[in-house]
Structure 1
Amino acid sequence: MGNRTANTSMLDALLREAENKLGSAGRKGKTLHTLPMLYLLGDTNAAKTTAVLRTDWNAELIAGEAMRDGEVCPTSTLNLWFADGVLLAETGVALNDSPAQMRRLFAKTRPGSWRTSFRGDAPLRAAVVCVSCERLLGANAASELAALAAKTGEQLRELAKFLGTAVPVYVLFTKADRIPFFAAWVRNLSTDEASLLLGAAPRDFSVRPGSTWAETASATILQSYDGLLSDLQGTRLPLLARETDGPVAAENYEFPREMRKLRNSLSAFLIELVRPSQLHVSPLLRGFYFTGVRAHMVEQIISEAAATPKAIAQQDAGATRIFSALSAQQGATSADSFAPRTSSKKTAQWAFLPRFFPQAVLRDAAALAGSGTTRQASLFQRFVYGTAAALLLLLLIAFTVSYSNNHTIEKQLNAADQQLAHNEAVGGANELAAMSQLEQLDILRSHLVQLEQWQREGAPLGYRWGLYHGNTLLAPARRLYFEHFRALLLTRTQNNLIAELGGLPATPPQNADYNSTYEALRGYLITTSYPQYSTSAFLAPVLTNHWQNGATISSEHRALAQRQFAFYADELTLDNPYSIKPVDTSVNQARTYLAGFGGFERIYQSILTAASRQTASIDFNAQFPHSAETILEPHIVLGAFTPSGYTFMQNALAHPEVYFRGEAWVLGDKAPATIDTGSLKQQLTTRYDTDYITTWRAFLDQAHVVKARSLAEAGTKLGIVSGTNSPLLALIQTASYNTSVQDKSISDAFQAPQTLVPPANKDQYLTSSNKNYVDGLLTLRSSIQQVTASPTGTLDPAAAAPIASAASAAHLAAQQTAQAFHIDAQAHTDAVTLALMEAPITSADALLHGLGPAAANAGSRSFCSAVNGLFSKFPFNPASSVQATPAEVTAVLQPNSGELWQFYNTNLKSLLVQQGTHYSEAPNPPIRVNPAFLRFFNRAADLSAAFFPAGATAPSLTFTLHNLPSNGVQKATLKVDSQTLALKDPPKQFTWQAATAANASLTANDLPLTFTGVWAVFEMLDKGKIERSITPNTYDLSFALELANTPVRAPDGTPIVVDYELSGPGASVLAPGSMSGLRCVDSVAR
């Protein structure tokens, strides 16, 4: 890790050094990203640095180290050269051995796509790969070249991927002097000839029809190389003419042959080097060249010659025609001329290298032009057009989505309207609305609430784009909802209110309830004449009670109705959807009745109403979102019975005279009876304290925990109830906090909830007082989760044990926590609190009783599915046209390995006990076995024993047939495969084996009855009729003779039948109809 970091730092430092030098040279805008660049790649000792130094390019080193102590040194990380406006990045060991570092170099020197997109073509990028010719020689040349090609090829493909363009690749084979006879061949070349290019430039790599890329590339490269070899062979005669040393002349002639030996290995290397990627752009081979060192005599002229021959013209670098000048020079070199006086000095010269970079690479116009258009730049140029098209497409999609969403709103409203209209036509106006009707009404309400919200806050983006018409749908939707609301809920409710108010006597009886009548009258008047006084906290429970009118419904049913009444109560203050006149006779009757109570009730109710206006009521499920998933609390507590309401009430009770008139709009102008002001304050205080206690007792009494329907759901609910935001503890804390007032009699009445969750813990429900209880819930939840998380957990009856143990421990923890509760002998608040605590545990505990049977039944379903597939076929189902195979019978019925017995060993062994050949329920089983399943299992076990007698591995049966006297039958022959029973023969034992069974027949009076196939004997015997069965496994069978499906009759008109007696072990299986009705019952337990 440290070495990689050091290499990264060194690479970044070298790149910064190059940037700084370019900037300091006054080259504004010329950076590593904007200048042309060649990447010089290659393995160690490939003479990369030397190749740069010995060329005529005059490159300047701007970063890195090339020379040390006057000698060329290995490149450790990177050398950056600059020449003629072109950068050359020479990679060293650290980069070659680290793909990550090589990728970092490519990324740091990649042309910027933004600049390229707006300023034309990208600066050129090309790669030069240096390969020592030593790699082409030697015993391991093939494997070393393959490894080198794979490594360098991956670098080239990575470079092409980074640049997004087909990178031109030029391969320079250095150290050609290692090739035998190179020195002899090159020694007589002139300086100008040695500075020419030795190589080839293959061009056409397009894949030909019917060929692969490798085949095409191989042919192209070999063709170019063969052209080079042809040129080399053409230099033999001119060079021989120059050679004066006889032995060396022969070596000169051998060099082209040595080059030919490299043909296949060189081709294979180049193919692997530039093999294209199927996923990204790839490198493109543009040429391969050779260079090597020769010993060169440098002559220094002492005196001028009489005549100087013309210099060799510069040759073109194209293809392979590189030594054509030799032929032209042959005659010139043989001519005798006046030679100058010279002195000679021997030096090392790199042949065929000087013009490589400036000519072979930088003048390859076609390749470099292609490299100037990067994929990133092209993509960016297309981005503008693509963006415009995408925006138009997005706009089209937005219009489509908006239209679809708006159409869906209208469609949903119409669907709910039609469904409700149909349901209302079925029921009457005064009938209690069904749960399904209220669910449809609630859907319509949710749509209406959504439309109202969108009118206030704006519709979501997916509904806009100029197509939103929810605001125009709002009025029709509101009208539809309240039409159905009136039909389903309001009409019945108002009728019940009118009946109740109109049926009141003139004077109230002893101990009559003032408040219930007052609330009924007040609620009725709000729905008719005084909607401005509507509040959901008051009106919703009043209307719900009178809609229900004593009918028995579920808590969910009631909650659904109350939700509609709450919405109606809120809407009344905004815009009354109805104009309903009150029934004056009922209103007046109720007012007269209430006036009969005297002034006390009027004053008390007026004070309560005033207090509730000052303080919000408590609707627990509304105040605690999602609490209804675990706790249902239908009781809404008026604001007068909260701590702030208590404070208001104390001041109001001290000055009751302010409330002597009450709510005139409710009670009318009827004057109250004479009030005894002396005792009024005490009476009001006593009444209020009593109602305070009664209200919160009702709050606890009416709360109930939602039962789980499965173990998994029980675990989820326990997690919620035991969490930091536990709805159950929040409910207890609500009662605890709101009953902790100054009046000690009120506070003491609720000691139990105040002990479980202290009143001060308004935001922290988990305390030391309930820790053991909560820990018990968490343990129970963990036990359940361990079972439900296992794929087979809920299918294992034994899984109930740890859950039952945890449930018992949780019950005990709850009861131990409740020991701190004071006993409430009057209202049993302690017991009510404990019951709420234990309800989640009881719900989970109740599911355990069905765990064992459910597990057994779940396992039996897959078993029965497989078994019934067999028993639905012939011979088990005589009416089926599909026949079972012996393999299917074996798979199900074979003892030990068959599915029947595997299921028995896994699931039934502890439930059943074998008594002889019969199975019965075991004594005291963990679960009770379904009698119907037990009957099936015994029949299936009998079949298994019959088909697989001791040791049998394939179905077989043994049975006996005996001829019985048959009137009118002169001859009869019964055959089962090769076994025959004639009319006069004694009883005969037959053996049927599924592996060899082929046919069965019965011929009587020359009338044949023939069957073929594995089950032929079953088909034949199934044609018989059981006349009687005197003993078990013994049957008298009769076969009626038929001709063309017409019974054959004796002279006296009676049908002629052939009678046989069927007996033996297999008789119970072969008897007609013996296997009918055989079907697995998937309810194993009950």
Structure 2
Amino acid sequence: MKNKWRTWGLIIGTLIVAVAIFAVLYFFGDRLGWETWGEKGTIWLLSMLVIFGFLMIPMIVTSLNNAYSNLKANNKKLNPAEPKKEIELKVVTGLDAMRDQLRHRYGFFWRRKLRWLLVTGETAEVEQVAPGLITQGWQLGNDALLIWGGSTKAALDENWLKQLKKLRWRKPIDAQVWVVAADYYAPTKEQKALQDKTLWQMHSRNKLMGWAAPLYLLDIRRTQWQQSEQEEQPVGTLFPGKPHPETLINLLSSVVKQTTDLGMTQVMINHQHAFLLQLAQDLEQRDIPRLRGWLPTFLTAQGGNQLRGLLFTPQVNRAETLADHAFQPTSTWQAIIDDSRVAKGHGVGMQWLNSATLAALSVIILFSLGCIISYIGNRGLIASAENLARQSNDFSVSMTERLTRQQAFKQQLSQLQYRTEYGSPWYLRFGLNQNDRLLTSLWPYYHQANQQNIQLPLVNNLTNELEQLVQMSPNNPERATLAKQGYDRLKAYLMMSRPDRVDAPLLGNILIENTKQAPDTVSAGVWQSIGPELMQFYANNLSRHPDWAIKSDKSLVTDARQVLINQVGMQNAETAIYQGILKRVAQNYGSLSLEQVLNGIDSRTLFNTTEEVPGIFTRAAWEGMVEKEIERAAKNRREEIDWVLTDSGKQLNSEISPEKLKQRLTERYFTDYSAAWLNFLNSISWQRAESISDVIDQLTLVSDVRQSPLIALMNTVKYQGQTAQKGRALSDTLVKSAQEVFGSKAKKLEAIPVDDSIPVGPLDGTFGPLLRLVQGGAQENGDSLNLQTYLTRVTRVRLKLQQVTSAPDPQAMTQALAKTVFEGKAIDLTDTRDYGSLIAASMGEEWSGFGNNLFVQPLEQAWQAVLEPAAMSFNSAWRESIADPWNRAFNGRYPFRATGNDASLPELGRFLRPDSGMIERFVTTQLAGILHKQGDIWVADPMNSQGLTFNPQFIHALNQLSKVSGMLYANGDAAMSFELMARPSRDVVKTELLLDGESLVYFNQMEIWKTMNWPGETYSPGAQLSWSTAETGLRLYDSAKGSWGWVRLLDQASVTQLDSSRYRLEWKAEDGKSLNYILRAQTYAGPLELLKLRGFVLPSNVFVTSRSPASAKPEPVISQYQTEQGNTSNKPKKAQPQKIIGNPVSTEDASTVPPVRKKSKAETPAETANAEVVEQGSADSAETQASSKPMTRMRRIEHDAN
């Protein structure tokens, strides 16, 4: 029955496959390349033949096996075996009989339709669970095959196992059953040895068969009563894949509970059916404790059989009616059979035969399928290409249709080209690939179509354009405009005639740009979508097909070349060549950082930079690629550039000759080379040292011959700067020799002597100063500048600084060094600093950053390290001896502060006297070498004060006090003379000025000058101003007491400068009357100069250091003066606004001053622009004016006004 269904299923399946193939060919055959019914029928028949061939393979194999078995049996009958091999042959014969019977009963797939169970154990136990199995060898029943595997105590029969493996070569058995008894679990040595031997046998058996099947333990239990009428049911448990020993015991415990319940039920029905109850009792009381130590051995065995279950069964009786080799499974056997369908074994050892067989069969099947698919695909591809070639050469259709067909044909060729380069798809290979042959056979057809559709229109268009350019008048401005396009068109025309010169991307772009206009019979949309692709495809393949070349018009080419040579030239080609060289070189040479330039030497403690040198501008790049690239460019100049405009037989213009090109490219490269290294080296910055110890460390590293980053850098610069150097030309040597022969008259003066032995190179102009510095040696006159001398001097400076730091009093020694310099004497430090500055200056302006950072800054820092503590020491001495006593003497006193307390003039003289004053003595004794007095002005010495920064407030204060000292203490004591002259005022009858006992009374008579002395010789010094009018009596304007009374009174006046020595003083009375006087000073501004002392603060620092920066500008004290002055003066007065009115006039007498005339609108702006308020002395700097209060209400006028 099964064979019948199998046959019908095979027939129906074959019909379904045949119908499916027919449907695919019917609906999709055209797409696959089979258009005719004959082609489709052929493919269908081939497919069916292949399918029938696969179906016949099992039948052929079965027939061959039967034939082989019959032949073998006949050979055995004719040649009986020897007696000693009778047992072996008997076993083999039994297997052969089993095979024949199974094949006859179950057909071709007899191996997989049964569950093969190998039974082992002692003969007594096996006979009780499978009666007759031992004598028969195998039993068959219920789709299960039991095979007797031998006793566990006997040796393995390897030949028999090999024969068994041949029957089922991949998986010989599905399960292995070991029949055991309860006494096997006893913890005795005999039973332990039996278990180990059995496990060893299992391992050996598995190794011989190459397969480890699941293991089932079948425990035979004997009972006192017959159990034949008892209901059969499987008793036992199945184990999971990788059980834990405790899991096994728990499962067996659950078996005890189940068997107890079932056993009690069966005993209640029939008291003889006590198998289950007895089993539960034995398991609980005896066997489970034994199994706890017996079962785990199967779990720990590596590579053995998987323990799948433990089942219990009573003795089985075989029915007499059963035939030989028949097996009637009990419920326990059936449970094993059913579970074996689920349980999986595993292979043992290398299954190379199985794998090789499967692989070979898979390869054969895949290759067969691949050949079929490849044949189908290639046949369709050839048919499609043939159809496209035929259609594209049909010139009877319209131009639009021809272009559309050519576009399809082009896509087919592009696909074939791509497959030629990158390989065809896998389904077109398998030995049937016709891609290359098909592509070769299609090119003539495409050329024929392309020649008519694309090539001829392009040639005609280019010819017309070139003829138009040639025929255009030379004076036509459009001729120059069309020159660039004409060059491209000529180049395209020549490429089409010379395929070996084709530049496909360039040719395609030229053709597309030159043929944007669609042909007359083609729409613009179709041309824009198809035309560019066809023209680019033509350009891409022109160089591969020399037969596609056109025949050029030589006369047209010659005329076009002449026109373009006159209009275009080759100026832009040089830049393209140069950029191309740099681009190619940059791919092989990376940029160099400072660390790479120094060959790994760490320079971070001395100098650093984030800039990098491009790798293309190095000596390695020049010698490795650049020089060769320039040579190649010069060699190929005619072929790469000039072939378009110049015939190979004509002489090139000297300007575009290869030699000129090589010269210009070389000059251009080394110009950029120099710029790259200039940028890199000038970007190097010196690291600032924080202490004199850091300076010493830096100088030590600089002068270290082995580890100096400076030496490493200069060596690298020397190596890079000598790139492309060569010996001097022979002509230069001959000229030099001629000059020596003909005497001094023929000699040419040389600013710098030239050593003929030194090679010259293109980088000498840039790297020359650095190379001379590195290569120069000490000469007899000692005037040469070289690196070695510089390093020797640096070493001296470093040793001197080490002496300073190791001295008992480093500060005193530092101050002594600084004082030596302040006195104008030279030391090693200053000499080396000057030497470094000279080296930096000799490098020139373009190396200024490099020279300053690496040759000046190190020694400048060393000088600063010496000056810093010395300057701090001088600042401290200034504060202790001058600044602090000054502040104690004059703080809170007028004029330095707007208070009622006057400063002592003798005490002020103690500080300010020109020769013996404390301030001048300090400057002349401590700062004599760096500060000189020129008249009344102190000036810093520019040479000896290098590295020092004077506090600008100090210089300004010193000059301000010097003026006061020279004017007030010229004779030792405080004394000043000046002249006053009263001036008439409106409605004022009389004015009276009292100054330290002297008076100046004016009654509106003729003005006269009166000499006044301040301070006067009186015991009650002071200044008083009073006036009277025609209506009132004498009135007091103000009376200021004290030595500074006169200065206080001047502080209230409005001062206007008339010329260099005369000033007009104007006091405003309460009633608005003006009290006018003219003051004529003998020195500077006379007593008005003292007004600058208002708010004066003596700076506490002489030098600016890191710990004592420049003194901050003092806050304005005008508001303070206005507030406090109001408290000290008798009468308040309003501040007068300043006016800027022209320049002063020179008058000898106030009476000659004419009245003020008004300025016209045209004059006023110009004169106003030239006028300026004089608030400080001519030598005062604008930066320090805030240290003293400006002279308020002072202005300059051109004429005096009543």
TM-score, normalised by the number of residues in structure 2: 0.26
Larger radius of gyration: 2
* Structure-1-length-normalised TM-score: 0.28
